[in-house]
């Protein structure tokens, strides 16, 4: 394998880009590197980072180039991390990084570089091969950017749905990071009160229960019959043997999904659980009906 083939072999493992230290390790001298640039074999993408000419531009390539430039302590962060974690309502293909604040100034034409003086190993995970801020840290970093209530709700609920964070984990890490100048702490405090569900509709149901003084249910509980899983319920009031399901605007559209829902409902009833369902319109347009019927179903002690 000749020298150029070795260069392209490494670049192929890094979304088509290669960093100066890699070139040095391969024995590529400055004169040869500059010759490849003049001959359009390499294209400079960032300081110390080049792309093999002809490799298509991609979001992943820009993430890789930024990480190679910023060094081992850099993490994909903020909206870029939210995209890797699969958060709802995330704008596509943002390129953002988080690095320790050591006084240096970083300049990447295609990215935003944030600095921090407060980070820990717990904030670092790998997603799709990239070092990324954890889902918990991503939510808290997004809060500092004042993204709006709906955006932050979606981030929290997505992290809960993917089991990459939990309300109590968010609160614990927030307590450690809270301090002067850290905007968004109070909003995260508010939004975690009604977290625990997996969708905006489930959040609205929990908010109804809380604001009207009704008991908070257990969320996302799995049920089994003789060790066989029969399904997961949105909300459970175990002391009342009651399951509450909420269905979105579209619900389960296919025949197969409707059949699974019906089977789960029947099996829950067979083992002695009462099952009730509220729709999107019930929760968002007829909240008084939801509150009244929940009081009745939970009994006078819930009033």
The average pLDDT across 179-204 equals 86
pLDDT for residue 231? 87
With residue 285 as reference, give the H or E element that holds it: helix 280-285
Rounded Cα gap, residues 79 and 142, in angstroms: 7
pLDDT for residue 230? 86
pLDDT for residue 180? 63
pLDDT for residue 264? 87
Q: Look at residues 80, 199, 86 and name the one whose alpha carbon lies nearest to residue 141.
A: 80
The average pLDDT across 143-155 equals 92
- What's the pLDDT tens digit per position in 33-45? 999 999 999 999 9
Burial 251-282 (b: 16+ CB within 10 A, else e): eeeeeeeeeebeebbebbeeeebebeebbbeb
**Which domains are present in the chain?**
3-55 (no CATH), 62-192 (no CATH), 200-302 (3.40.960.10)
| Residue located via tokens 């009745």 | 296
Q: Which residues contact 74 (CB under 8 A, 6 or more apart)?
A: 66, 67, 97, 98, 99, 131
pLDDT for residue 186? 85
pLDDT for residue 301? 44
Rounded Cα gap, residues 268 and 253, in angstroms: 22
Q: Which residues pair with 51 in a beta bridge?
A: 17, 43
- What's the pLDDT tens digit per position in 9-62? 999 999 999 999 999 999 999 999 999 999 999 999 999 999 999 999 999 999
pLDDT for residue 181? 61
Indicate the Cα dihedral angle 223, 224, 229, 234, nearest 10°.
0
Q: Is the pLDDT of residue 303 over 70?
A: no
pLDDT for residue 185? 82
Q: Which residues contact 252 (CB under 8 A, 6 or more apart)?
A: 258, 260, 261
Q: Is the pLDDT of residue 299 over 70?
A: yes
Q: What's the distance, CA 267 to chain centroid?
A: 33
Strands (E), 93-205: 96-100, 112-116, 124-127, 130-133
Reported as a pLDDT band with limits 50, 70 and 90, residue 202 is very high
- What's the pLDDT tens digit per position in 164-189? 999 999 999 999 888 766 677 888 98
Considering only residues 65 and 232, tell me which one the structure prediction assigns the higher pLDDT: 65
Q: Is the pLDDT of residue 152 over 50?
A: yes
Q: What percentage of the chain exceeds 70 in pLDDT?
A: 95
The average pLDDT across 221-225 equals 90
Q: Look at residues 174, 196, 173, 172 and name the one whose alpha carbon lies nearest to residue 185.
A: 174
Structure tokens at 131: 């070092």
Rounded Cα gap, residues 17 and 61, in angstroms: 7
The average pLDDT across 187-202 equals 91
The average pLDDT across 267-294 equals 95
pLDDT for residue 252? 52
Model confidence, pTM = 0.85
pLDDT for residue 254? 67
pLDDT for residue 178? 81
Q: Is the pLDDT of residue 153 over 60?
A: yes
Rounded Cα gap, residues 200 and 186, in angstroms: 20
Give the C-alpha distances (Å, rounded to integers) separating 296 from 71, 218, 299.
60, 19, 5
Q: Look at residues 162, 170, 164, 153 and name the one whose alpha carbon lies nearest to residue 89.
A: 153
Categorise residue 56: left if φ over 0, alpha if ψ from -120 to 50, beta otherwise: beta
Least confident of 89-98, 132-141, 179-188, 194-203: 179-188
DSSP-derived secondary structure for 23-61 = HHHHT--HHHHHHHHHTTSEEEEETTEEEETTPPP-HHH
Burial of 106 (0-12, 13-18, 19+ CB in 10 A): middle
pLDDT for residue 249? 61
- What's the pLDDT tens digit per position in 225-270? 888 898 889 999 999 999 999 987 655 556 677 788 888 889 999 9
Categorise residue 189: left if φ over 0, alpha if ψ from -120 to 50, beta otherwise: alpha
Is residue 36 within 8 A of residue 69, CB to CB? The reply is: no
Is residue 4 within 8 A of residue 42, CB to CB? The reply is: no
């Amino acid at each position: 394998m000749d020298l150029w083939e070795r260069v392209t072999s490494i670049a192929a493992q890094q979304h088509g880009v290669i960093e100066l230290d890699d070139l040095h390790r391969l024995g590529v001298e400055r004169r040869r590197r500059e010759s490849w640039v003049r001959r359009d074999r390499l294209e400079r993408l960032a300081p110390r980072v080049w792309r093999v000419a002809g490799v298509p531009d991609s979001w992943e390539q820009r993430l890789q180039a930024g990480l190679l430039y910023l060094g081992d302590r850099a993490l994909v962060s903020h909206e870029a991390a939210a995209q890797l974690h699969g958060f709802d309502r995330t704008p596509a293909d943002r390129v953002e990084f988080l690095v320790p604040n050591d006084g240096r100034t970083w300049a990447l034409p295609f990215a935003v570089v944030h600095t921090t003086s407060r980070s820990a190993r717990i904030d670092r995970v790998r997603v799709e091969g990239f070092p990324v801020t954890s889902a918990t840290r991503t939510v808290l970093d997004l809060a500092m950017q004042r993204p709006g209530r709906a955006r932050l709700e979606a981030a929290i609920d997505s992290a809960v749905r993917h089991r990459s964070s939990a309300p109590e984990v968010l609160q614990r890490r927030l307590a450690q990071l809270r301090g002067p100048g850290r905007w968004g702490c109070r909003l995260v405090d508010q939004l975690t009160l009604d977290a625990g569900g997996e969708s905006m509709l489930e959040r609205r149901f929990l908010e109804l229960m809380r604001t009207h003084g009704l008991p908070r249910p257990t969320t996302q509980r799995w049920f089994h019959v003789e060790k066989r899983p029969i399904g997961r319920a949105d909300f459970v009031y175990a002391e009342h043997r009651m399951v509450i399901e909420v269905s979105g605007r579209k619900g389960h559209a296919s025949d197969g999904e409707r059949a699974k829902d019906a089977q789960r409902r029947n099996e829950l009833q067979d083992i002695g659980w009462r099952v009730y369902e509220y729709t999107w319109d019930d929760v968002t347009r007829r909240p008084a009906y939801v509150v009244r019927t929940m009081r009745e179903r939970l009994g006078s002690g819930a009033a």
